[in-house]
Structure 1
Amino acid sequence: MDISSVVGLVLAFGLILASIMMGSAPFSAFIDIPSGLVVIGGAIAATMMCFPLKIMLGSPMAMMKVFLNKPQNPGSLIETLVSLAETARRDGLLALEGRVEEIDNTFIKMGVQMAVDGTQPDVIEAIMRTEMESINGRHKDNKAVLDQLGRFAPAYGMIGTLMGLIMMLSDMSDPSGIGAGMAVALITTLYGAIVSNVMFMPWAEKLNILNKQELTSLEIVIRGILSIQSGENPRVIQQKLETFLPPKARASKEGA
């Protein structure tokens, strides 16, 4: 569970609700189902026209990663790679075949298996970087869906407001109802701003951060596997890979 995402979402909606409660207007004045349908339904429909159906169907799972992500710890990756390097240095590269089953990370497992099979270093790097680019592409597609939802929601909020104003101005026989009609017309703009700035846009940025973290982890693995295959000293490999860690994290590992 990503605590910052949960706390941020609850805090954002909580502040909005608290502000409504402190105001003079009743809470029911901020509830309008047709306005919600225009904003949410319209944004989803417009986004569906931008992307293939396969990407749209996969976007809900990507949204869940905002709250249920489990980022890879670069420090543990480095420890695993250094341990593999020590085995290869001591017993030879073929000895890594006996450790393949104990490796949980599928990307490391793929690289180790290719190294054990005697695959050329440039081929290993090409395959692993292609896999890395494929993962990055899928993540960018998911972020793009949220970006478009964030852009379309305010636009459909404005469309709903214009629709409400047209319906209100088409019947001016009762001036006392103009104020209430104007309030209902503005609700769609409010809904569009809320779902865009509280949900879709922040979620897109969180997916972008998670993608950067995963790409860093994949880069660590690629460089580690290539270093192991070339027979570099495990201590040198550790120092090389720890350059991806923040200075404080490196200091804590050295002091451990």
Structure 2
Amino acid sequence: MDWGSIAGVVLALAGVLVAHMLDGGHIGSLIQPAAFVIVVIGTIGAVLLQNRVKVFVRGVRMIGWVFVPPPDKRQEIIDEIRVWSHTARREGLLSLEAFMLATEDQFTAKGLRLIIDGTEPAKLREILDLEINAYESEQRHAARIWEAAGGYSPTIGILGAVLGLIHVMENLSDPTKLGGGIAVAFVATIYGVGLANLVFLPIGHRLKTTVMHEVSTREMLADAFIGIANGDNPRAIDERMTTYLR
């Protein structure tokens, strides 16, 4: 659990609500279902229009990484690489088959299989780079739905404000309906700007950072596979791997 992310969300919302109350406002005045529907549903619709459903669903599922990021297994992977390189050095590349069958990570299994098959290091690098680039592109595209939401929601909030003002103008003869219309107008803007800057954009940037970390882990594995395929000294491979921990 990433307590920093939880604290960030709590502080962001608390800052807005406490400031509102210090000004004499009430929490209830910020609860406007009509404004919520306009901003949230409108933003979801805009993001869906921009992306395929598959990408949208993947991006929504990635929100779990904000609060429970993928564990940092680089040290464990380096320990495994150390075993692979020494085993390959002593017993040959075919001895890596047992490790390939034991791993549950598809990228690791693919790299080991290519080494066992005797793939040339240059070709191995090309294949692994393509795999890494495809993964990075897929994950970044999914993460960008949150940045897209952060771009659309303020504008849709303004749209909600305009709709609220239209409602006000239509009921000028009935003073009892003016307050509700004005509230929707202003609260819709708050929802749009607040969600963009306190939720959507921070989530988008956080996910991009997580994706970069996952890509770096795959690049570390690719570097190790190339070293093993080249027959590099295990100690030299180990030295290169430790640089990824900095």
* Fold similarity call, TM over 0.5: yes
Which amino acid is 1:225 matched to? F
Q: Distance in 2 between matches of 1:221 and 1:94?
A: 18
Q: Give the aligned partner of residue 68 of structure 1.
A: 68
1:140 — aligned with what?
140
In the other structure, the counterpart of 1:170 is 170
Q: Distance in 1 between matches of 2:77 and 2:148?
A: 34
Written as runs of structure 1 = structure 2, the 5 A alignment for 1:195-206 is 195-206=195-206
CA distance in 2, matches of 1:130, 1:159: 43
Aligned equivalents of 2:233 and 2:99: distance in 1? Answer: 19
Instruction: Please show how residues 88-99 of structure 1 align to structure 2 within 5 Å.
Output: 88-99=88-99
**Aligned pairs, how many?**
246
Task: Please tell me the residue identity of whatever aligns with 2:149.
Answer: L
**Aligned-partner SS, 1:49:** helix
The equivalent residue for 2:24 is 24
Structure 1 match to 2:125: 125
The one-character-per-residue Cα deviations of 1:216-238 (angstroms, maximum 9, x if unpaired) are: 11111001001011111111111
Question: How far did residue 156 of structure 1 move?
Answer: 0.6
In the alignment, which residue of structure 1 is the partner of 2:10?
10
Pair 1:43-2:43 in alignment: yes
Corresponding residue of 2:80: 80
Listed one character per residue, the Cα deviations across residues 67-98 of structure 1 (whole Å, up to 9, x for unaligned) are 23214332222221122101111222222122
Aligned Cα RMSD in Å? 2.0
Judge conservation of contact 2:171–2:178 (CA < 8 Å) in 1.
no
C-alpha contact 1:150 1:201 (8 A) present in aligned 2 = yes
Residues 160 and 184 of structure 2 are in contact (CA less than 8 Å); yes or no, is this contact kept in structure 1? no
Partners of 1:86 and 1:152 lie apart in 2 by: 53
Query: Does the alignment pair 1:100 with 2:100?
Result: yes
Which structure 2 residue ranges, 5 or more long, are not aligned?
A: none
- Helix, strand or coil at the partner of 2:62: helix
1:60 is displaced (CA, Å) by 1.8
In 1: Cα distance, 2:29 partner to 2:98 partner = 67
Shift of 1:178: 5.2
Q: List per-residue Cα deviations over 1:13-37 (Å, max 9, x = no partner).
A: 2222333333312221111101000
* CA positional deviation for 1:211: 0.9
CA contact (8 A) 1:71 1:213 kept: no
Q: CA deviation at 1:179?
A: 6.0
What percentage of aligned pairs have identical amino acids?
28
Paired with 1:80 and 1:104, the residues of 2 have a C-alpha distance of 13
For 2:34 and 2:91, locate their aligned partners in 1 and report how far apart those are by CA, in whole Å. 70
> 2:154 corresponds to which residue?
154
Q: 1:41 to 1:176 in 2, by over 3 A?
A: closer
Aligned to 1:234: 234
The aligned residue for residue 57 of structure 2 is: 57
Amino acid at match of 1:217: T
Letter in 1 for 2:37: L
Aligned twin of 1:250 = none
**Deviation for aligned residue 1:100:** 2.4
Contact 1:164 1:185 in 2 (8 A): yes
Could you say what secondary structure the match of 2:50 adopts?
coil
Question: How far 1:106 sits from its partner (Å)?
Answer: 2.9
- Which residue does the alignment assign to 1:110? 110
Equivalents in 2 of 1:98, 1:167: separation in Å? 70
User: Partner residue of 1:253?
Assistant: none
Counterparts of 2:180 and 2:107, CA distance in 1 = 59
TM-score if structure 2 supplies the norm length?
0.91
Matching residue's letter, 2:59: S
One-letter amino acid matched to 1:118: G
| Deviation (angstroms), 1:143 | 1.8
